[in-house]
Amino acid sequence: MIPGPFEYHRPTTVADAVKLLSTYGDDARALAGGQSLIPMMKLRLATPEHLVDLRDVKELKGVSQEGDHIVIGPMTTQHELLMSDLIAKSLPILQETALTVSDPQVRYCGTIGGNVANGDPGNDMPALMMTLGAIYRLEGMEEGREVPAREFYQGAYFTALEPGEMLTGIAIPIPPAGHGYAYEKLKRKIGDYATAAAAVVLTMSGGKVASCSIGLTNLSETPLLAEAAAQLVVGTTLDDETLKRAAAAAEAIMSPAADGRGPVEYRKHAGGVMVARALKRAASRAG
């Protein structure tokens, strides 16, 4: 398939990129790694008249620590996350999740910014960002603003980004030392979206769960935060009965579509299984 006609722009600064996006409004799309947008353009599911390529905007790349937060530039690729010592030390679940994103060829090109800002319910990083309490830094022609990941996703491919705005940074609170983590993903084959996936970050104290956060991928039209399920496990030793109750509570908020990955009930059941597995593995790593 061949994309529709468009005008190509290649800014070198955030200011120039924002100006282009603001000038052309809904007719413009920002291009990060292109692993989602280009296939959509080829299928004519996206037909931007102006394509703003961000690859030369150096200030959008890199990983750094600012106080008690890790800040990631949106043009940082999944491969670069996997190679980062700072991510390995402070946010190992980010590397675990990045390893499940498609295949190595895609991870060399695909960016974390494209993954979280596109609003695709099948992408792995959005639910993880919600689980970690990430903050998205957005820039437009007006003053920049910050939006919690938990408030960013509004529907399939719909987000809090306003016309002319772009994602310029992702700030993630550093979890406490000794935290447990896990990202469990069921998929049909390498490179596929999740049939169901769950992210868990927790802490343990005295053999019991002291705090917990659970995110769900591709089980609704947006990523989900399973708050009731997370609250159920706090104060428990994660015995089998608690795991069953937590899985059921997570399933209660799921609304996946029936598709080639399976019918609704199967996908909800798989989601509950991923939650239980992620909880157990996260607890085994804590402390």
CATH of the domain at 205: 3.30.390.50
The yes-or-no verdict on residue 51 having pLDDT over 90 is yes
Q: Could you read off the pLDDT of 8-29 as tens digits, one per residue? A: 999 999 999 999 999 998 899 9
Shared domain check, 277 and 213: yes
User: What does pTM read for this prediction?
Assistant: 0.95
Q: Mean of the pLDDT values across residues 38-62? A: 93
Shared domain check, 160 and 201: no
Closest-CA residue to 107 (of 131, 93, 124): 124
CATH of the domain at 64: 3.30.465.10
Confidence tier at 143 by pLDDT (50, 70, 90): confident
Per-chain mean pLDDT for the chain = 96
Shared domain check, 191 and 129: no
In a domain, 2, yes or no: no
> What is residue 40's predicted lDDT score, i.e. its pLDDT?
87
Give the count of domains, the chain. Answer: 3
In a domain, 1, yes or no: no
Shared domain check, 76 and 38: no
Domain containing 75 equals 58-173
> What is residue 2's predicted lDDT score, i.e. its pLDDT?
85
Minimum mean pLDDT range among 40-49, 169-178, 231-240, 275-284 = 40-49
Residue entry with tokens 């007006």: 142
CATH of the domain at 35: 3.30.43.10
The yes-or-no verdict on residue 175 having pLDDT over 80 is yes
> What is residue 267's predicted lDDT score, i.e. its pLDDT?
98
